[in-house]
Amino acid sequence: MWSLGGLLIKILTHTYNVDPRAVACVRSALAGLLLSWALPGVSKAPRWKALGAGLAYTVVVAGFVASTNVTSAANAIFLEYAYPLFVAVGAVFIFREPLGRRTVLALALGMAGVATILIFGWTPGEGKGLVYGFSSAIGFAAFALLSRSIRYSNPLGLSSLYNLIAAAVLFLPAWGTFNISRGAFLVLLATAVFQLGIPYALFLKGLRTVPTTDAAIITLAEPVLNPVWVWLFLGEVPHAGTLVGGVLIILALVARFTSGLQKGQKGLN
């Protein structure tokens, strides 16, 4: 469901000609309202940390939508999925976590993948899309690091709060672009429900019985499937440089998480 983001955003911006600012704003507003029943569960969350995480999340959703609009869906999602590598670097300096060999290998592969996309995975006119995608990855890393320090709060409630913050921040930039047809609104509603709301709830439910490292590996299906849906339904073919860079980023994430996956399985056995 998460991997449908590229396809749905392309349909909204290219088929229905909805402004990407309106897409990001309305998409988050609908997702926030969908989960608003869980908002009482965030009453104990530190306000400034929650606000900071919400602003970082705003950069994530706005950057991803903008990137998907002006470059290939593959570029947008692969660049965004470089965020765990930035999280690993941030964790070393902020939480004093050790920088193991696997992390170093993952960082080397991941940065090589990002560099390959930035240098070879685009055509003239797509440069801004790469900047937006890279900004989304940086925002996602900041979001993850801030979220780690927020405990004892309902995750669904936090998701609602973050989406509502994003909608509020993006409202003024999107003002005057809300010329949305009935068909486009239905696609936006589907995006909020099936691409943001339900998969997030399923992911949280899955974490109750599946080790976190298993979940991290499973979610790699998103960057793999995202450009596949766009190719199958819209005929968008990723650049060769994008595919090479994407493979390197996915290999980096597998290298980073596989050791934890093996340890988790031994512990379960």
* Inter-residue contact 16 to 186 (CB < 8 Å): no
What is the DSSP-derived secondary structure letter of residue 194?
I
* Inter-residue contact 69 to 61 (CB < 8 Å): no
* Inter-residue contact 122 to 70 (CB < 8 Å): no
Domain, as residue range, for 120: 2-268
pLDDT at residue 61, as a whole number: 93
pLDDT at residue 209, as a whole number: 77
pTM for the whole structure: 0.85
Per-residue pLDDT of the chain (269 residues; tens, 9 = 90+): 999 999 999 999 999 999 999 999 999 999 999 999 999 988 888 889 899 999 999 999 999 999 999 999 999 999 888 887 788 778 778 777 777 787 788 888 888 988 999 888 888 888 899 999 999 999 988 988 888 778 767 888 888 999 999 999 999 999 999 999 999 999 999 999 899 888 877 877 777 777 666 676 777 788 889 999 999 999 999 989 999 999 998 998 888 777 654 444 444 44
Provide the domain count of the chain: 1
pLDDT at residue 124, as a whole number: 81
Q: Locate 104 and state its tokens.
A: 């170093």
Closest C-alpha to 242, from 256, 229, 227, 225: 227
d(CA 119, CA 99): 28
d(CA 219, CA 38): 24
DSSP labels, 98-167: ---HHHHHHHHHHHHHHHHHHHHS--TT-HHHHHHHHHHHHHHHHHHHHHHT--SS-HHHHHHHHHHHHH
